[in-house]
Amino acid sequence: MNNHTPPFDSSAFRRALGMFATGVTIVTARAGDGTPVGMTANSFNSVSLDPPMVLWSLAKSARSLPVFHAAEHWNVHILANEQNDLANRFARAGEDKFAGLSLEPALADAPFLAGCSARFQCRTVFRYEGGDHIIFVGEVVGFDRSEMAPLLYVSGEYALATRLASPIATEVTGAADASAEPAPFTEQLLGYLLGRAHYQFMWGFRRTLDELGISHGEFFVLSLLAVRAALDADQITAHTAYTGIAADTALLSAMRARGLLSASADPAPRYALSPAGHAASRRVLAAAHAVEAALVEQLGGREAAGLRNLLKHLIRASDPGLPTLWGASA
Amino acid sequence: MNNHTPPFDSSAFRRALGMFATGVTIVTARAGDGTPVGMTANSFNSVSLDPPMVLWSLAKSARSLPVFHAAEHWNVHILANEQNDLANRFARAGEDKFAGLSLEPALADAPFLAGCSARFQCRTVFRYEGGDHIIFVGEVVGFDRSEMAPLLYVSGEYALATRLASPIATEVTGAADASAEPAPFTEQLLGYLLGRAHYQFMWGFRRTLDELGISHGEFFVLSLLAVRAALDADQITAHTAYTGIAADTALLSAMRARGLLSASADPAPRYALSPAGHAASRRVLAAAHAVEAALVEQLGGREAAGLRNLLKHLIRASDPGLPTLWGASA
C-alpha cells in the first residue's frame, strides 16, 4: 500500500490526508474598503501557548489572499455541529457569504460570527512560505468557547465526535466457560447492544406502564396514535408489525373497551386516542422523557447527539419499508 | 463569554483550543547514534498539495528537539481508533516507547510504525519560529493509508468520528396533524430510536425464529445459555427480567419438553442447551450475524464502531444492575 514519488498521485495524497480528522473553521478578515471576506478552512491548528498562537494555511491561488495579506487581524471560528450549512456556504466562491448573518462586536475589524464552538481573534505575527499555500501564524488577542459540540471533517465528510467507550463487562476472564468453541455471540454484536439498550431504556419507565396497566403492544399503539390520529387497523399494523408484537383488532378492541381509544363507525373503524388515552399517553411519554433526560445527562450531549445520528443511519439502512411516522399523512 | 488579554487565562485558552477536533499522530525520527525518538502530537496538518507538504509543531522544551532539529527525515503516523494505548505510550516521557513494537521498512531512517490509518514519510524543508514551539514543515516523499478508522482527540479526550446523518423522515410537513399541541414524541427521542433500531434488527432474522418456532423469550434464553452454561431459573430471570419478557420456569419447562434444554436434577435444576438447543442457537446466531454483516456493510465500519461505542456508553449509564454476561461466573 506504499505510495512513493515519483510519480506522485495527488488524489491518493488527498485521501491519505483525509484520514487526519480535523475540526472545521471559518477564517474571516476585512478588506481596506470594508468588504468582509471569509472562507472555510480545516488547516487550522494550535502552535504556542505562551505567547498564545495559532496557525492556518491559505492557498496562494485564493481570491482573498490579498485581503488576508494586508489585514492586521483575522478571526478563526471553530464551527459547531449544527453549522455545516455555514461551512458549505463559506467553502463556495462567488456569493455574498455574509448575507443574512448577524455579526457580533469584535476587538478589531474582522467579521465575528455567532453560534460557534470556539472563536479566536488573532493578529498576524508571521506569514510563512508553504509550497502552494501561505502559512498564517497569529497571536491570539481574544477567544471564547461555548458548549456546542464541534463539527468535524474526516475523509471528505462532515462528522460528529463521540467519546471512546471502554468495554461493558469489566471482569472479562480468559475462558470461564467449559465450552471450547469460540463464542459467536459477543458484546460486539450490534443486535445484542441494540436490544440491551432498548430494554434498559424501557425498564426505566416500566413502572409507569405497569401502574397504568399498559402492555408493550398497547404502548406502541398509544405512541403511534399520539403522533398520527385516525388510523385504521391495517394502517396500525403497517406501523407496528415489524416489532413482532401484535397490535391487531383484538388488541384495538380491548383498548377501546377500556376507554383508551375512540373509533369511527364500522366496517373499517379509524382509531384515535380518547381523552383517557391521551392522558395515559402523556404520562408514559413524560416518564420516557425523564429517562431520556437522565441518560443524556449521564452520556453528555455530544454523545447523545452522536448516538441519535448513528441510530438514524442504522434505521435507514435496515428500514423494512415502514410508512412515514412523522410528516405527510399516509 | 469573551476572554481577552490581559490577563490571559491559559487553561481557558487550552479548553477553547480543545474545541478544534484533531486526529492523533505519532511523529518519529532517529538520532545520529541510531536511537529512535517519537512523540504523540495533534498539531499536525496539511499545508500544500503541489509540492506535497505537511506541518506539525514541537515544543522548544521537548527533550527530542535536538534530534528533530538534526534529523533530515521524520515520519508522521495518523493513528487508528484502536491505537489509543500507543498514543498514551508516546505521550509519556521517559520510557522506552519503542519496546516491543515491530517497525516496518521506510524510505529513510526514521522509525515506521504499523497499524495506522495513514502515514507520511517526510523530509524537513522549513523550520519556523512559533512562540514556544518550532513549526516543522516537511515535504512528503512517501505516504500510505489503510481503511482503519482514525482516532480523534476532542476536548482533551479520545473520540471516534461518525458521519452526520440527515433526518429519517424525508417528507416532513409543517402541521399534518389536526392536533395543535406540540408533539412530545419525536424522532429525536433516543427511546424511540433504540426501539425502532432494535426491532428492525430483529425483523431481519425473524423468519429464522419463526421457522424454528422460537419465541422472543425463548430466543433470549437460547442466547443466554449459549454464553453461560448451567444457570438455574433465578439466575436466568436475573439476566432477562429487565426486558419485561418472561423467561420463567413455565417457559424453561416448555423448552425442556421440546428438547431445547437439558436440566440437572430437581429441586433447583440448572439449565443448559441440549444438542438440539445448541443447533437452534447456532442457526439463530448465524442469521443475526448475517443481518449484522449486511448492516455494517451499509453503515460503514467507522459508523458501526461508533454506534457500538455509544451503545456501550448508554448501556453502562442505564444498567439496572444486570449480572455480568461475559466473563467471570456469577
Parse chain A into domains and list their residue ranges: 17-159, 190-318
A131 and chain B: CB distance < 8 Å anywhere?
yes
Contact A144 B22 (CB under 8 A): no
3-state secondary structure A10-64: HHHHHHHHHCCCEECEEEEEECCCCCEEEEEECCCEEEECCCCEEEEEEECCCCC
Q: How confident is the model at residue A190 (pLDDT cuts 50, 70, 90)?
A: confident
Nearest CB to A190: which of B196, B285, B304? B304
Helix (H, G, I), strand (E, B) or coil at B189: coil
Q: Which residues of B touch A25 (CB under 8 A)?
A: 20
pLDDT score for A119: 98
Minimal Cα distance from A303: which residue of B? Answer: B310
**pTM of the predicted model as reported, rounded to 2 decimal places:** 0.72
Condensed to tens digits (0 to 9), the pLDDT of residues A207-245 reads 999 999 999 899 999 999 988 878 999 999 988 888 888
Q: Could you tell me if A197 lies within 8 Å of chain B, comparing CB atoms?
A: yes
- Region of poorest pLDDT, from A298-307, B133-142, B170-179: B170-179
The predicted pLDDT at position A241 comes to: 87
| Strands of chain B, DSSP E | 3-4, 22-23, 25-30, 36-41, 45-48, 53-59, 73-78, 118-130, 133-145, 152-154, 157-163, 231-232, 261-263, 270-273
What CATH code is assigned to A190-318?
1.10.10.10
Q: Which residue has the higher pLDDT, B312 or A172?
A: B312
Residues B153, A203: contact at Cβ < 8 Å?
no
Query: Which residue shows C-alpha cell 515520519?
Result: B75
pLDDT digits over B259-291, tens only? 999 999 877 899 999 999 999 999 998 999 999
| Residue B187 cell numbers, joined | 424522532
CB contact set of B143 (below 8 Å; sequence gap of 6+):
A3, A12, A13, A16, B52, B118, B119, B120, B121
Q: Which of A144-158, A237-251, B160-174 has the lowest mean pLDDT?
A: B160-174
**Taking phi first (over 0 means left), then psi (-120 to 50 degrees means alpha), and beta for anything else, what does residue A100 get?**
left
What gap in Å lies between CA A103 and CA A28, rounded to an integer? 11
ipTM field: 0.72
Highest mean pLDDT among A101-115, B170-184, B307-321: A101-115
- DSSP single-letter state for residue A323: P
Express the helix, strand and coil content of chain B in percent, nearest 5 each: 35, 25, 40
Handedness of CA A281, A284, A289, A290 (dihedral sign): positive
- The answer to whether the CB atoms of A19 and B229 lie below 8 A apart is no
Helices (H), chain A: 10-18, 65-70, 84-91, 190-203, 206-212, 216-227, 233-240, 249-257, 275-299, 301-318
Element (H, E) at B255: helix B249-257
User: What is the dihedral sign for C-alpha A196, A202, A205, A211?
Assistant: negative
Shortest CA distance from A6: residue in chain B? B141
Residues of A in contact with B314 (CB under 8 A): 197, 200-201, 295, 299, 307
Joined grid coordinates for residue A256: 377501546
Give residue B165's pLDDT band: very low, low, confident or very high (50, 70, 90): low
pLDDT at position A124 over 50? yes
- Mean pLDDT for the stretch of residues B230-249: 88
Interchain CB contact of B85 with A (< 8 Å): no
Contacts of A129 in chain B (CB under 8 A): 126
Q: What is the CATH number of domain A17-159?
A: 2.30.110.10
Over A180-196, what HEC string results? CCCCCCCCCCHHHHHHH
β-strand pairing of A152-154 with A36-41: unpaired
pLDDT of residue A199: 92
Taking CA atoms, B94 is separated from B39, B58, B62, in Å, by 11, 17, 12
The more confident residue out of A268 and B78 is: B78
Q: Is there a contact between B198 and A200 if contact means CB atoms under 8 Å apart?
A: no
Please determine, for residue B5, whether its predicted confidence score (pLDDT) is greater than 90: no
* Cross-strand bridge partners of residue A157: A154
Nearest CA in chain A to B228: A177
Residue A150 and residue B288: Cβ atoms within 8 Å? no
pLDDT band, very low/low/confident/very high, at A6 (cuts 50, 70, 90): low
Mean pLDDT of all residues in B81-91: 92
**What residues in A contact B291, CB-CB < 8 Å?**
191, 318
On whether the CB atoms of residues A140 and A121 are closer than 8 A, the answer is yes
Residue range B163-172: average pLDDT?
48
* A327 confidence band (pLDDT: 50, 70, 90): low
Q: Does A50 contact B131 at a Cβ distance shorter than 8 Å?
A: yes
CA angle B286, B271, A175 (to 5 degrees): 65
Strand partners, B256: none
> What is the pLDDT, as a whole number, of residue A304?
85
Is the predicted pLDDT of residue A301 greater than 90, yes or no? Answer: no
Lowest mean pLDDT among A171-180, B31-40, B96-105, B318-327: A171-180
Pairwise pLDDT comparison (B76 vs B186), residue with the higher score = B76
User: Residue B296 corresponds to which amino acid?
Assistant: V
CA dihedral A78, A84, A89, A93 (to 10 degrees): 70
Short-list B62, B77, B65, CA closest to B111: B77
CB interface of A with B, residues 44-63, below 8 Å: 44-55, 57
User: In the numeric block, which cell numbers belong to residue A10?
Assistant: 495527488
State residue B330's pLDDT score. Answer: 33
Residue B175: the pLDDT is: 34
Tens of pLDDT, residue by residue over B200-218, are 999 998 899 999 999 989 9
Phi, then psi, of A297 in degrees rounded to 5 = -60, -45
Contact B163/A157, CB-based, under 8 Å?
yes
Per-residue confidence (pLDDT) for residue A176, from 0 to 100: 36
* Set of cell numbers at residue B198: 432494535
DSSP category for residue A238: H
Among left, alpha and beta (phi > 0; psi -120 to 50; other), residue A51 is beta
Place of cell 496539511: B46
- What mean pLDDT is predicted for residues A18-31? 97
B266's grid cell: 430437581
pLDDT at B166: 55
The pLDDT mean for chain A works out to 87
- The pLDDT value given to residue B6: 53
Name which of A158-172, B7-21, B70-84, B204-218 the model is least confident about: A158-172
Say whether B190-318 and B19-159 share the same fold.
no
Q: Which residue has the higher pLDDT, B130 or A329?
A: B130
Quick check: A11 contacting B, CB < 8 Å? no
Task: Write the CATH number of the domain with boundaries B19-159.
Answer: 2.30.110.10
Q: Is residue A311's pLDDT more than 60? A: yes
Check CB contact under 8 Å for B157 and A143: no
Contact check, Cβ <8 Å, A49/B132: yes
Mean pLDDT value across chain B: 87
B227 touches chain A (CB under 8 A): yes
